[in-house]
């Protein structure tokens, strides 16, 4: 499956147009993308330049890829109206989407980019991209716990897919998922009588957290 971003979607979701305003701008030939007048809802590349009449709406923008260590206690959102949002720890001028949302109490690797197709490919449930975590729980880990977690767990909203688990110590394990249900690991542990004390994501696909500390980031290439 390929992921396509069209100009109307970009105008609405990234530049604040209403649906009607976006359609009118296209139909009235008021949009110019990379120097050409747009007359239909074309597939759009987020690096491109956009003019509305003679007003520059978006300059040419190279793709940026960021690996960020999201600290515990920070919400995975760029919305500055929400307390403890990402921008309280991470200031960056470019509009970035993110892959692999982490709940507020979880920490670790978050990937950000202005490359929408890339972000969608990492987030798509049909792509089976691996996400690796180190998890600390509140009581000793048993062989039964490892077996049941690996097979998949009924978390009320669904039964999770089989996954890879490795016991690291009495209270700590490594888990590799290929799906990303809301608070999935916490729900899986709770269903088996455990509570998560700490959860750190250390890898998404081929990108590793490495030696980043909470709040630190690095750029990478794909």
Q: Which helix (H) or strand (E) holds 133?
A: strand 131-137
Classify residue 197 by burial, with Cβ atoms within 10 Å: 0-12, 13-18, 19+. middle
Q: How many CB atoms lie within 10 A of CB 63?
A: 16
Q: Please give the Cα distance from 75 to 154 (Å, whole number).
A: 27
C-alpha distances (whole Å) from 211 to each of 22, 67, 180, 208 are: 44, 11, 24, 9
Q: Which residues are catalytically annotated?
A: 103
Asked if residues 47 and 60 have their Cβ atoms less than 8 Å apart, the reply is yes
The structure tokens listed for 85 are: 């949002």
CA distance 196 to 178: 20
Task: Extract the tokens encoding 34.
Answer: 């990379």
Pairing verdict, β 217-219 and 50-52: unpaired
């Amino acid at each position: 499956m390929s992921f396509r971003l069209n100009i109307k979607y970009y105008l609405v979701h990234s530049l604040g147009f209403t649906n009607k305003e976006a359609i009118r701008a296209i139909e009235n030939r008021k949009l110019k993308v990379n120097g050409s007048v747009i007359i239909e809802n074309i597939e759009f590349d987020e690096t491109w330049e956009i003019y509305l009449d003679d007003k520059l709406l978006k300059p040419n923008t190279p793709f940026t890829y960021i690996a960020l260590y999201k600290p515990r206690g920070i919400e995975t959102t760029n919305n500055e109206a929400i307390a403890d949002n990402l921008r309280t720890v991470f200031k960056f001028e470019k509009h970035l989407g993110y892959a692999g949302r982490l709940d507020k109490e979880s920490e670790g690797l978050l990937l950000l980019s202005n490359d929408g197709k890339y972000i969608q490919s990492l987030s798509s449930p049909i792509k089976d991209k691996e996400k690796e975590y180190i998890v600390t729980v509140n009581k000793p880990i048993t062989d039964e716990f490892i077996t049941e977690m690996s097979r998949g767990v009924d978390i009320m909203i669904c039964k999770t897919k089989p996954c890879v688990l490795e016991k690291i110590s009495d209270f700590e394990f490594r888990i590799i998922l290929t799906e990303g249900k809301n608070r999935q690991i916490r729900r899986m542990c709770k269903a088996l009588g455990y509570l998560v004390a700490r959860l750190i994501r250390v890898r998404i696909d081929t990108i590793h957290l490495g030696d980043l500390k909470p709040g630190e980031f690095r750029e990478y290439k794909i």
